[in-house]
Amino acid sequence: MKKQFAFIVLSMLMASPSIAADRSGEAVYKAVCATCHAAGLMNAPKLGDKAAWKPRIAQGMPKLYEHALKGIRMMPAKGTCTNCSDKEIKNAVDYLVSKAK
């Protein structure tokens, strides 16, 4: 009986959108980050702007992830996307960085 219950709960969890597959970096970028990072709003480093990204990338990926997740100066935590998973934010950072190389 207990086992069956656990199975039902598990299948409900699997069907729930809250743990659906993480969105790709490009999808998250377009939905959230582009607001600032496409036009360079408030001096946000622009997508594909190698010069702007170079010193930021030089900090290392762990720092970039941390700043994207927790925010830094005018960069809001998670780019204000409170319902984005940490993995989705990291995907978006990877996307931004991949375009600046």
Residues that bind ligand HEC (CB under 6 A): 28, 32-33, 35-37, 41-45, 56, 59, 63-64, 67-68, 72-76, 78-81, 89, 92-93, 96
Residue whose CB is less far from ligand HEC, 10 or 41:
41
> Taken in order 82, 22, 98, 55, is the CA torsion positive or negative?
positive
| Residue 17: CB minimum distance to ligand HEC, A | 19
| Residue 51: CB minimum distance to ligand HEC, A | 13
Cα 95 to Cα 18, 25, 30, 52, distances in angstroms: 23, 5, 10, 15
